[in-house]
């Protein structure tokens, strides 16, 4: 065994092969998780050294994942062929809005045409960069105000099939609720419809964060990142109106680093939600079947195009775990 290991190490040095760095483990609370994550799956470290990695999105045009480093006001690109590179600098603060923290971008999604939609903490707006994304152009403001008042710091966003945009607006990009620059009292959930009208659809969470639809868009999930009320809510979505509020899963007091944050929903209905311990995996009925334990607080996650991999932004890391598709 020792001779085999020595040979492998020698070959690695000669041919420049390095072992893939990994972290954490997969906690399997129910056999159902084995239909999603193979027994030998590991959490690969793809890149590190960030201040707070956030908002991953898979971009088919680039065959790459884009993600943000919020405090550093940068957006990065990672792909198998070229590894890590800076994609946008600045990513979310350009000085067009008053903001002492000058934070960068957070959540990222693609619209139906493949343009990049960006939740910008620092500029306090939702912005868009038009494709081709191989050569990113300038920011275009999509929405920056509600009822004549500037948003605090749009955080995460999702797009409905009918074109309606939903997003959360907590005060993380400001100095909290007491910041004199804060113009809207509520930390709300908003809908921007295809006519350009913006509506505050919910205001009952003090730290609304990640949000996602069920596959048929009949349910909207919303995270609340508060240690005293650390949970995910679910709502029935009817013609843009939220109804039948329920607690999908309450993680208040649950051990593990991190709060209810970003989330994505698998095509089979499973909810992958960053929270205490890493990425918690739930059935559509809210049963917790396991956790991708990342050792550090995780902020958000994203599937690649065919759901064969999940990319995770965890504190200073970009990581990936292979899935069964």
DSSP string, 56-110: EEEETTTTEEEEEETTTTEEEEEETTTEEEEEESSSS--SSS--SS---EEEEEE
In the chain, where the domains are located: 62-203
CB 23 within 8 A of CB 295: yes
Tens place of pLDDT for every residue, the chain, 325 residues? 333 333 333 334 444 556 789 999 999 999 999 999 999 999 999 999 999 999 999 999 999 999 999 999 999 999 999 999 999 999 999 999 999 999 999 999 999 999 999 999 999 999 999 999 999 999 999 999 999 999 999 999 999 999 999 999 999 999 999 999 999 999 999 999 999 999 999 999 999 999 999 999 999 999 999 999 999 999 999 999 999 999 999 999 999 999 999 999 999 999 999 999 999 999 999 999 999 999 999 999 999 999 999 999 999 999 999 999 8
pLDDT at residue number 14: 44
pTM of the model: 0.94
CB 231 within 8 A of CB 202: no
In 3-state terms the chain splits into helix, strand, coil percentages (rounded to 5) of 5, 45, 50
State the Cα–Cα distance between residues 313 and 102, nearest whole angstrom: 21
Q: Which CATH class is domain 62-203?
A: mainly beta
Give first-to-last CA distance, the chain, whole Å. Answer: 35
């Amino acid at each position: 065994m020792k001779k085999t290991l020595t040979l492998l190490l020698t070959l690695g040095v000669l041919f420049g092969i390095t072992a893939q760095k990994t972290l954490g483990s997969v906690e399997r609370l129910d056999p159902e998780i084995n239909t999603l994550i193979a027994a030998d799956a590991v959490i690969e470290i793809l890149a590190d050294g960030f201040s707070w990695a956030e908002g991953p999105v898979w971009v088919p045009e680039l065959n790459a994942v884009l993600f943000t480093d919020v405090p550093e006001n940068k957006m990065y690109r990672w792909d198998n062929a070229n590894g890590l590179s800076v994609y946008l600098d600045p990513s979310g603060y350009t000085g067009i809005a008053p903001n002492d923290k000058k934070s960068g971008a957070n959540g990222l999604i693609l619209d139906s045409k493949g343009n990049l939609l960006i939740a910008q903490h620092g500029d306090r707006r939702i912005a868009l960069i038009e494709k081709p994304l191989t050569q990113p152009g300038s920011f275009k403001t999509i929405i920056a105000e509600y009822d004549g008042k500037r948003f605090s710091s749009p955080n995460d966003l999702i797009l409905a099939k009918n074109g309606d945009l939903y997003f959360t607006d907590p005060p993380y990009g400001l100095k909290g609720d007491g910041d004199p620059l804060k113009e809207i009292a509520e930390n709300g959930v908003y809908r921007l419809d295809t006519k350009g009208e913006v509506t505050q659809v919910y205001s009952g969470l003090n730290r609304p964060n990640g949000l996602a639809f069920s596959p048929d868009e009949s349910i909207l999930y919303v995270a609340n990142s508060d240690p005293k009320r650390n949970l995910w809510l679910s709502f029935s979505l009817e013609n843009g109106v939220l109804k039948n509020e329920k607690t999908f899963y309450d993680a208040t007091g649950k051990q593990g680093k991190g709060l209810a944050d970003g989330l994505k929903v698998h095509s089979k209905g499973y909810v992958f939600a960053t929270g205490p311990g890493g990425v918690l995996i739930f059935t559509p009925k809210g049963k917790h079947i396991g956790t991708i334990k990342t050792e550090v607080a995780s902020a958000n996650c994203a599937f690649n195009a065919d759901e064969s991999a999940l990319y995770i932004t965890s504190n200073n890391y970009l990581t990936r775990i292979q899935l069964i598709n």
